Every structure is written in C-alpha cells, then in structure tokens.
Amino acid sequence: NDTPFPYPLNPDYVNWKIHYPKFFDGTDEENQKVFCNTNEHPQTYDEEVNPLYNGLNGAQPVFLDIGCGFGGLVFNLAKNFPEKLVLGLEIRDKLVNFVSEKIRALRIESPDHKYNNAACIRTNAMRHIIQYFRKGTIEKMFFCFADPHFKKSNHRRRIINTGFLSEYAFLLKPKGRIYCITDVEDLHNWQEEHLAKHRMFRKLSEEELEGDICVQLIQDSTEEGQKVTRNGGKKWTCVFERI
C-alpha cells in the first residue's frame, strides 16, 4: 500500500468513459478492457478530459462503496440499479485487480449485458476522494465493515471522522445517504456519534428507511458481512441523510 500511485488533480482529469464505456459512445471492445489504476492495469491522469467524459456533461458514478474489498456490494448494487453508475474504491492493489477482472467477466458472461455500470479503482479514499468527484453529485456512499483502528491513538485514521465527513457532505447531493455497517460495537458508536454531531447530516428513522433496498443489501452482500453471518456475529447499522 505504500507505493505511490497516480491520482487526478481534480475531477476535470478523470475519464469515466474508460470505466463505463457503454454509458458513453464506447465499443464492445472498450467495454471489456480493464482500467483500475493498479500496477497491472495502470492509468494516468495527466490531461484534462473532454467534459463529455469527466462528469461535467455526461454520466458519472453516483453510488460509492468505500473500501469495497472483494466487491460483493458493488456487484449487487450494479445488478439492482442498472441505471446508476456504481464505483468501488479500494486501496489494496490485488483486491482492485480481483474486483475489476470479475466485472470484466460478468460483462462478457451476463446474457443481458449487465454490469456495464460497475467499476472499481485503486485509490486512497481518505486522501483523494475529493479529487475524483464533483460537488453535490453523489447519491449514496457505503462504509461496510470499515477497518476499526482499535487503538485510541489510531482513531484519527478511522474513515468516518469529522474532517472526512465534511468532504463526504461536499460530495453528496442534498438528501444523499451514507450507510454504515460494522460488527464492532465501539466503531458503530463512534460512527453514529460523529455523524450525529455533524451539522450536515441527519439520522434516518426506521420508517424513513422503509423501502430502501440498500439497507438489506449491505447486510450480506459484502464478503465481510457474509463472514460475520457465518460466525453468528452481530451487526450494527446506521443511515444518515445529507441535509
């Protein structure tokens, strides 16, 4: 994780067409290439991109799975929301290759050409998320089984934190949602507390969450969630809305 890897200066330098060719004027051949910013599938962010492709005048991701791991939630969201562009952000090179290769396979195999709306990139979300997306464009952000960083001196590394929450609020559309799930009670309390005291977020009640299929999807779509279920562990969730 320590080797430096490229990142864009700002969203003008991000080319969403290479990740989701079928949502643009891309060919079948382009749709089966992998770009995910890993060593094996490198990409660059050297030049400003045509506004048709950099999110200014065209499609762009609206669902973000932060720390997507093996990608279970990315695949499930893509299947359930065929019109929404879903992006997994993950820092570990090998996992990003795995998820991206699987997306390529799914695009080829699935008879009705699903999964054209799924992609994954290697990035450090805590450092660079703001350089990828435009203000007020994101509809949903998912934080599933985030690293707990148990030691008190490491709490500032937690991915839900006051400073980062301001960045997420900047990126989310009004009424956009943040979903958190974890099997670590202490982390759940931390996440809920920090979200609750941030003035850009409001906790959603059970009634308000009725009919939101994502609340179900986060339970058992991810590999970590499935592991907790197998081991009979407990899961805590909370969902907040951007004010």
Beta partners for residue 121, in sequence order:
89
CB-nearer residue toward ligand SAM: 21 or 214: 214
Contacts with ligand SAM: how many residues (CB under 6 A)? 19
What type of residue sits at position 110? S
- Which residue in the set 14, 69, 116, 138 belongs to the binding site for ligand SAM (CB under 6 A)? 69
Quick check: 124 binds ligand SAM (CB under 6 A)?
yes
Q: Quickly list DSSP for 98-113.
A: HHHHHHHHHHHH-TT-
Residue number with CB closer to ligand SAM (95 or 160): 95
Q: Estimate the crossing angle of helix 72-80 against helix 223-230, to 10 degrees.
A: 110
Query: How many CB atoms neighbour CB 52 within 10 A?
Result: 15
Smallest distance, ligand SAM to C-beta of residue 189, A = 18
Six-digit token string for 153: 């001196």
State the Rg of the chain over Cα.
17
Active site residue 147: yes
Distance (Å, whole) CA 20 – CA 161? 31
The answer to whether 89 contacts ligand SAM (rule: CB under 6 A) is yes
> Would you say 153 or 205 has its CB closer to ligand SAM?
153
d(CA 190, CA 186): 6
* Cβ proximity to ligand SAM, 146 vs 172, nearer residue: 146
Q: How far apart are CA 224 and CA 229, in angstroms?
A: 9
Look up residue 205 and give its DSSP letter.
Answer: P
Does the footprint of ligand SAM cover residue 93 (CB under 6 A)? no
Q: Are strands 63-66 and 86-90 parallel, antiparallel or unpaired?
A: parallel
Under a CB-based contact definition with an 8 Å cutoff, are residues 121 and 42 in contact?
no
Among 90-98, 111-119, 168-176, 198-206, the segment contacting ligand SAM (CB under 6 A): 90-98
Q: Taking contact as CB under 6 A, which single stretch among the options 30-38, 53-61, 144-152, 186-194 is the one that binds ligand SAM?
A: 144-152
Q: Does 68 bind ligand SAM (CB under 6 A)?
A: yes
| Minimum gap (Å) between residue 208 Cβ and ligand SAM | 24
Q: Which of 7, 35 has the CB closer to ligand SAM?
A: 7
Which of 46, 65, 112, 147 is catalytic? The answer is 147
Choices 46-54, 84-92, 105-113, 188-196 (CB under 6 A): range interacting with ligand SAM: 84-92
State how far the Cα of 96 lies from the Cα of 74, in Å rounded to an integer.
12
The residues that touch ligand SAM, with contacts defined as CB under 6 A, are: 67-69, 89-92, 95, 124-126, 144-147, 222-225
Supply the residues annotated as catalytic: 147
